[in-house]
């Protein structure tokens, strides 16, 4: 049994290294992610146990995220094809690199709280492509979007999958979590913006012109309003019906499909504005990469390795703030969902009631800690897939900023608890 777990960890480590060094070794990260996922599960299936049942459960969880991701990406591409984001880019009235960094940072922060960090990242990166055409210039702005989206998603129950998990399980309540985490999350964003903007001078010379150059396609304003409204509708649909978020994104996609077919069906020249054509533009490689990463992490979870890690932290570190902070840092390497699930199993509501210090810290740390590495959050993985940002570039240029930003929010939360 121990040898099997050793091989699972080795597969994860080798696959992880291959993803990190994707460009030097010339092997696409999606291939590495898929291989390490299947090999990890193959080792489990060689052991006695109900592994088929576990795989079915985990595939169900992963599929829900994948369907949500594909639906959200399709809606964003649909709005983009109609030039709907012009209604947002028209608000851009500066070429300044530093001002644009701050404007997009705050826009991402608040949008993520209403939607979620993954959808917001997809929307904002699509917008960035309109105003900053050079891919190398978008790398820093895109990285900022990830930090801002994760910070914005941490302070509302619907902004991040981990806060949603804690909310559904009854560990946190809506008003309390928003009150407790808004300022720490905002402070962490401001620290990141200051650090990323330090030394950032000059202009993006084409930003204003490109923000205003495009003409909205027929029905563009309607599609923009319905598209953004559909994304906002997803958490409302979940609250009203109890159905999971991917069902909300699917009904939204079906509705927009119906509307655009009625709008463009009689116009052959508008074929590119209809969803069958939009689907050909979805980044399938990025979706499969996400699938591989999540399946591999779930293999570690089912094997009990993540639970063992959580128990080790509990036994050897008695300080709840330190445990929560470490969970956030570890979530930059290992998906935060199983880590939070493990922490929910470690600590019960009898010892730590609703909205207690522990749950609020875990919500913040698990939500924002993933920004430290580009593959540490759904938002980062989405950026990596959409913009082809190299893991090592992010590690060199952004990871330290994200770490300082994360720890600043932790410190702010602790001071807030002491004095307010």
- Helices and strands, counts by H and E, the chain: 22, 0
Rounded to whole angstroms, the maximal C-alpha distance in the chain is 68
Q: Which of 109-113, 151-155, 248-252, 343-347 has the lowest mean pLDDT?
A: 343-347
User: Token pair of 77, please?
Assistant: 């591409």
User: Token pair of 127, please?
Assistant: 């917008």
C-alpha triplet 341, 342, 348: angle, nearest 5°: 90
Residue 148's pLDDT is 95
User: Token pair of 293, please?
Assistant: 């990463």
Alpha-carbon distance 112 to 148, whole Å?
A: 8
Residue 405's pLDDT is 96
Alpha-carbon distance 288 to 66, whole Å?
A: 9
Residue 67 near residue 250 (C-beta atoms within 8 A): yes
Helices 305-316, 284-302: crossing angle, 10 deg rounding: 60
pLDDT in tens, 10-22: 998 898 888 878 7
Alpha-carbon distance 363 to 150, whole Å?
A: 11
User: In sequence order, which residues have a C-beta less than 8 Å from that of residue 347 and are 6 or more positions away?
Assistant: 358
pLDDT in tens, 276-313: 888 888 878 878 887 888 788 888 888 888 777 777 87
Q: Which residue has the higher pLDDT, 80 or 149?
A: 149
Average pLDDT, the chain: 84
CA distances (Å), origin 390, targets 23, 30, 143, 224, 277? 8, 13, 11, 31, 29
Torsion sign (Cα): 102, 107, 108, 110: positive
pLDDT in tens, 47-60: 887 888 889 988 88
The top-scoring range by mean pLDDT among 232-241, 248-257, 383-392 is 248-257
pLDDT of 109 over the 90 cut: yes
Query: How many of the other CB atoms lie within 10 Å of CB of 280?
Result: 9
Tally of residues, the chain: 420
* Closest to 409 measured CA to CA, from 368, 362, 366: 368
Alpha-carbon distance 79 to 275, whole Å?
A: 11
pLDDT in tens, 56-102: 988 888 888 788 878 888 888 888 788 777 766 666 666 788 888 89
Say how far residue 229 (Cα) sits from the centre of its chain.
Answer: 20
pLDDT of 274 over the 60 cut: yes
Alpha-carbon distance 192 to 412, whole Å?
A: 14
**Is this model's pTM higher than 0.85 or not?**
no
Terminal alpha carbon distance of the chain: 50
């Amino acid at each position: 049994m121990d040898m099997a777990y050793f091989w699972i960890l080795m597969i994860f480590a080798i696959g992880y290294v291959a993803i990190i060094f994707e460009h030097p070794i010339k092997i696409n990260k999606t291939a590495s992610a898929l291989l390490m996922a299947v090999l990890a599960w193959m080792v489990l299936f060689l052991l006695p146990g109900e592994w088929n049942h576990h795989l079915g459960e985990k595939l169900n969880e992963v599929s829900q995220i994948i369907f949500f991701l594909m639906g959200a990406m399709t809606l964003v591409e649909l709005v983009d094809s109609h030039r709907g984001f012009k209604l947002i880019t028209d608000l851009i009235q500066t070429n300044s690199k530093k001002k644009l960094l701050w404007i997009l940072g705050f826009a991402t922060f608040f949008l993520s709280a209403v939607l979620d960090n993954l959808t917001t990242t997809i929307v904002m990166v699509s917008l960035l492509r309109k105003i900053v055409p050079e891919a190398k210039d978008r790398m820093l702005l895109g990285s900022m979007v990830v930090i801002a989206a994760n910070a914005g998603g941490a302070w509302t129950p619907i902004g991040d999958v981990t806060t949603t998990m804690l909310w559904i399980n009854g560990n946190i309540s809506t008003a309390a979590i928003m009150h407790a985490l808004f300022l720490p999350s905002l402070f962490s964003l401001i620290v990141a913006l200051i650090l990323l903007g330090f030394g950032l001078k000059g202009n993006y010379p084409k930003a204003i012109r490109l923000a205003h150059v495009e003409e909205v396609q027929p029905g563009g304003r309607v599609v923009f309003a319905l598209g953004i409204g559909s994304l906002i509708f997803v958490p409302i649909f979940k609250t009203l019906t109890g159905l999971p978020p991917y069902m909300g994104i699917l009904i939204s996609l079906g509705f927009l499909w119906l509307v655009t077919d009625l709008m463009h069906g009689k116009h052959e020249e508008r074929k590119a504005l209809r969803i069958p054509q939009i689907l050909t533009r979805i980044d399938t490689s990025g979706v499969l990469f996400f699938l591989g990463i999540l399946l591999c992490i779930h293999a570690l979870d089912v094997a009990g390795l993540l639970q063992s890690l959580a128990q080790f932290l509990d036994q050897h570190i008695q300080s709840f703030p330190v445990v929560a902070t470490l969970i956030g840092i570890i979530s930059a390497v290992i998906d935060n969902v199983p880590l939070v699930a493990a922490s929910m199993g470690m600590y019960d509501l009898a010892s730590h009631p609703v909205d207690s210090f522990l749950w609020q810290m875990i919500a913040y740390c698990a939500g924002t800690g993933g920004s430290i590495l580009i593959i540490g959050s759904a938002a980062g993985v989405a950026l990596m897939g959409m913009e082809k940002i190299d893991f090592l570039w992010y590690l060199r240029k952004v990871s330290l900023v994200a770490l300082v930003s994360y720890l600043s929010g932790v410190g702010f939360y602790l001071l807030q608890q002491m004095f307010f």
